[in-house]
Chain A
Amino acid sequence: MSAVLAYGLAGAALIAIGLYALIVRRHLLRKILAMNVVGNGVFLVLVALAKRSAVPDPVPHAMVLTGIVVAVSATALALALAVRVRDATGQATLDERRGTAAEAGRGRDAPG
């Protein structure tokens, strides 16, 4: 079952890459992209495992279909929240060096 192997491992790689970027990247949009990448990796693993038999198992397909819609809903809300953060504080990153975003909005010299 080479298809299962290739896509399942690709899914695992996507989960790892997305998780690293989610933690390390500071820009909010980048974090949202990273969460979507992790989600896509999970879907890949699920659907790859569903293909272990010649005729695939339909239950993981239905679960991933649900997952795609929920992921887009969450992304839409997350983007709206990010835009709100940007409008309220003037920046769209989570940056520990400048303390809270509110302090950064008030002045650049507030210590972290």
Chain B
Amino acid sequence: MPLLVRFLAATLSLAVGGLVAWAVLGLPESAGLREAVTAQMDRSGVSHPVTAVLLNFRGYDTLLEVAVLLLALIAAWSLRLAPPGRSPERPGLVLRELVRLLVPVLIVLAGYLLWLGAHAPGGAFQAGALLAGAGVLLALVEVRPLGATPPFALRLLAAAGVLVFLAVALLAMWGGRLLEYPPEWAGLLILAIESAATVSIGLALAYLFRGDEPTTHREGGERT
């Protein structure tokens, strides 16, 4: 790479970094939007402020976010990559036993984090990450997540997060505007959205790691 390009890139990077640093140094002390959030917390349906912001006050951003994840999954599937080559040996005993122990624990922990999100740090994304971790572990021992489920159901589950969120958002228009949950139902609706989102996030991230799609036929060497 020619020296001039490196020099220009360095100058640009230093300028951008310097600008950000100058902004960080110069901004005044401020509580930001904390008071605005606290004032509305009892109408949000949950008692943890980050969850309230994520699923209620800024719910539109979260809806778009689960849609982006689904879009990335669809795009990666449409590339039709050959899945990575299998290793010729059977996965070792330690790995198999570890996965056998860890996957149920991960699933229980995911459910716990999902429930916890309403009143403490936690929620759909953290729980979904744990489920995705379980999916990655299963992929390492060459087991398909939810192996016995028909592929159409798996694809539907991957899309469930977006579908449920969209359905709740549109249903809220019955009494108000888009994504305006009625306050007495808000907690239940948020839990429903988060549950669907957890499953979708876990499935989507696990399949993004695996690189293959749910298929109808069983390839040789598939072990349950």
Contact = CB atoms under 8 A, between A and B. Distances in A.
B17 A15 contact: yes
- Interface majority SS (helix, strand, loop, mixed), chain A: helix
A50 interface: yes
Interface string B2-27: 00011001101110111011001101
Interface in B20-47: 20-21, 24-25, 27, 29-34, 37
B20 A12 contact: yes
A69 B201 CA distance: 9
B29 A52 contact: yes
B75 interface: yes
A73 B211 contact: no
A59 B32 contact: yes
A76 B72 contact: yes
Contacts of B73: 73
A65 B125 contact: yes
A58 B53 contact: yes
Interface in A53-73: 53, 55-63, 65-66, 68-70, 72-73
B53 A59 contact: yes
A22 to B, nearest CB: 9
A49 B27 contact: yes
B37 A59 contact: yes
Interface of B: 1, 5-6, 9-10, 12-14, 16-18, 20-21, 24-25, 27, 29-34, 37, 49-50, 52-54, 58, 61-62, 65, 68-69, 71-73, 75-76, 79, 81-82, 125, 201, 205, 208-209, 211
10 contacts: A8-B24, A8-B25, A20-B10, A20-B12, A23-B5, A23-B9, A53-B30, A57-B37, A59-B37, A76-B209
